Amino acid sequence: MTPQRRAVAAVLRGENVHLSAEVVLSRARQELPELSMATVYNTLNELVAMGEILEIANGSGPKRYDPNVLIAHHHLVCTSCGSLQDVAIPASNPRLNADELHGYLITGTEIVFQGLCPRCR
Amino acid sequence: MTPQRRAVAAVLRGENVHLSAEVVLSRARQELPELSMATVYNTLNELVAMGEILEIANGSGPKRYDPNVLIAHHHLVCTSCGSLQDVAIPASNPRLNADELHGYLITGTEIVFQGLCPRCR
DNA sequence: TTTACTGCAAACCGTTTGCAGTTCC
DNA sequence: GGAACTGCAAACGGTTTGCAGTAAA
């Protein structure tokens, strides 16, 4: 646990936090100005590998990192400004029936609700 | 309609087709060897803008292009090899209730089922 | 002294863009 | 001649990597 990793981890804390590497860097630099981007990426990737944070791959644009791993949830993304909102798993959780599985073994289901956020609509 | 565009469009035809720009190029070059990557991307982006094909943004790795725009569907992706399968919209289509909308106006819902394909499991 | 980690800079991959050279009306 | 399009090569943005230097065990 180096100061760098602590600074990165400290930024990724809380609910409804979805930060890009860039933003993680600038925020963590408030604590540790000499922090480098390489170290941010190294740390983020380790945190993802350890299961401490989630990686949210946005279509184009940078990946976002989400520290909320304890409560399973989906995302609501604004197609205009890119802002993200956590949403609870809906009551009607989608399932595939046998003939739609095409022989796959399902390991996860991810729902992305697209829409316009209050500011953009 | 130039030969280049025709060649690209011809490759993106059928069901369960999810090709990267790279693959589109190499296949279209069998018809038109002098085709360039720039033109492939130009054409793909126009087709997407025209609503003729869908862009599937994979986490890391190249985008995939899907000509199946007529039948609404979701995707089943192999987390090991990246292969993709179209799946029908499940009977229980997820919906958010008012308090989960957070003021967003929903415009679309995308489900990605992750799993292991028959070859990888 | 070995090991792990950092920061820098350069490389990387997928995609986009500037531009000069077609082609077609 | 003007508009639309091509191919090349260079630029781009986000991410990763090689490497020399530093700190910690």
pLDDT in tens, B97-109: 888 999 999 999 9
Size of interface A-B (CB pairs under 8 A): 128
Given a cut of 90, whether residue A95 has pLDDT beyond it is no
pLDDT in tens, A37-80: 999 999 999 999 999 999 999 888 999 999 999 999 999 999 99
Specify which residues B86 forms β-bridges with. Answer: B75
What's the rounded mean pLDDT across residues A93-98? 87
Cβ <8 Å between A116 and B107: yes
Give the CA distances from residue A50 to residues A12, A40, A54, B16, B80, in Å, rounded to whole numbers and listed in that order: 14, 15, 10, 34, 18
Cβ <8 Å between B106 and A118: no
Whole-number pLDDT of residue B73: 96
Of A85, A100, A101, Cβ closest to residue B102: A85
Given a cut of 90, whether residue B110 has pLDDT beyond it is yes
Cα–Cα dist A30/A21, whole Å: 15
Of B100, B102, B112, Cβ closest to residue A110: B112
Alpha-helical segments (H) within A1-121: 3-11, 21-29, 37-50, 98-101
Alpha-helical segments (H) within chain B: 3-11, 21-29, 37-50, 98-101
Whole-number pLDDT of residue B55: 97
Cα–Cα dist A116/A50, whole Å: 33
A47 CB less than 7 Å from any atom of strand C: no
| B32, two tokens | 């038109």
Whole-number pLDDT of residue A58: 83
Class of residue B49 by CB neighbours under 10 A (exposed 0-12, middle 13-18, buried 19+): exposed
Of A7-11, A92-96, A106-110, the one with minimum mean pLDDT is A92-96
Given a cut of 80, whether residue A96 has pLDDT beyond it is yes
Q: Å from A31 to nearest chain B CA?
A: 30
Chain A hits for B108, Cβ within 8 Å: 79, 113-115
What's the rounded mean pLDDT across residues A25-35? 97
Please list, in sequence order, all residues whose beta carbon lies within 8 angstroms of the beta carbon of residue B1, skipping any fewer than 6 positions away: none
Of A105, A112, A117, Cβ closest to residue B110: A112
Q: Å from B31 to nearest chain A CA?
A: 30
Question: Mean pLDDT for chain A?
Answer: 94
Residue B105 CA neighbour count, 13 Å, CB half: 6
pLDDT in tens, B75-98: 999 999 999 999 998 877 888 988
Whole-number pLDDT of residue B103: 94
Whole-number pLDDT of residue A92: 77
